[in-house]
Amino acid sequence: MRTITNEFMRERIAAGIRNTKRGNMSYRKVIVNTGNLPNAEGSAEAIIGDTKVIAGIKVDASTPMPDTPEEGNLTTSAELLPMASESYDVGPPTPESVEFARVVDRGIRHGNIIDMSRLFIEAEKVWGIYLDLYVINYDGNLFDAGTLAAMAALATTRMPRFEDGKVIRDASMKRMQTGNIVTSCTFAKVLDKMLLDPDSAEESIAKARVTIANDGNELHAMQKGMGGSFSPAEINELISATFESSKELRGIIKKSIGD
């Protein structure tokens, strides 16, 4: 049954028709909401089609990394909740969830969104930013949804204060300063076609996948996935497509953070 469906999908994609009747270089409907979880210092939900990812941010006093004693640190984790897909199981992190967390982390970390040197508190004490990604429903393209949720949550994160050895979280918390807005675009290669924002059915028949994160000026993270390959020309083309498509995503983020 699966084989028949896959064969049918390949034929349609070869003819330029996607399941959701959209163009090869267009997104499904993208929605970003912020501040749904006020117990967290920052929170956001990103919905792309039927994929839904929540990002929660907690800010805690922590010890600096030995190589950066005067900088704060960012810790990113991801949970592929078993409710989100029949193919996710309970248990320790899978390679899939680790890759997801690390790709989102890389875009955020290298996109200079947070100025880590501003997170210094005192000797041996810095602010730790904990970014947790929760996949509520999976229908492909986790990376872009995760990056959108993470970005919107970070941009609306309120910083606690450190007084008399205690972390104070109260109504007077101010937003953490953030710099660039980083978004990512993920493409799947099916036959010789490049599909932006693949859904889960498209991902299941894709030969290769690539995620490209940028801030509108520069690239900040890339990750090629799955068994297949891309030619240099294809990657160059996808980088151009990313700069084009990320304008729309940046607009959605800006709106969601009230900028």
Report, in Å, the least distance between residue 148 CB and another protein.
17
Q: Within 135-154, which residues bind another protein (CB under 8 A)?
A: 136-139
Q: Within 208-237, which residues bind another protein (CB under 8 A)?
A: none
Q: Is 50 in the site for another protein (CB under 8 A)?
A: yes
- 47 versus 257: smaller Cβ distance to another protein: 47
CA distances from 153 to 146, 157, 163, 175, 236 (A): 10, 6, 25, 11, 30
Select from 12-20, 66-74, 133-141, 179-187 the region that touches another protein (CB under 8 A). Answer: 133-141
**Terminal Cα distance for the chain, rounded:** 48
Q: Is 56 in the site for another protein (CB under 8 A)?
A: yes
Select from 125-133, 187-195, 204-212, 224-232 the region that touches another protein (CB under 8 A). Answer: 125-133
Lay out the site mask for another protein across 3-42 (x = CB under 8 A, - = otherwise).
---------------------------------xxxxx--
Report, in Å, the least distance between residue 145 CB and another protein.
14
Q: Is 82 in the site for another protein (CB under 8 A)?
A: yes
Report, in Å, the least distance between residue 36 CB and another protein.
7
Q: Is 58 in the site for another protein (CB under 8 A)?
A: yes
The Cα–Cα gap between 220 and 112 comes to 9
Structure-token match 């089609």, residue found? 49
Backbone angles phi, psi at 237, to 5 degrees: -65, -40
Q: Is 57 in the site for another protein (CB under 8 A)?
A: yes
The Cα–Cα gap between 57 and 46 comes to 14
Structure tokens at 108: 């955020």
Report, in Å, the least distance between residue 215 CB and another protein.
25
Angle at which helices 95-110 and 142-155 cross, to 10°: 50
Q: 3-state class of 116 per DSSP?
A: helix
C-beta separation of 104 from 150 below 8 A = yes
Q: Is 169 in the site for another protein (CB under 8 A)?
A: yes
The Cα–Cα gap between 141 and 56 comes to 19
CA 50 to chain CA mean position, Å: 15
Structure tokens at 30: 């993208």
User: Which chain residues interact with another protein by CB under 8 A?
Assistant: 36-40, 43, 50, 52, 54, 56-58, 60, 77, 79, 81-86, 90, 128, 130, 132, 134, 136-139, 167, 169
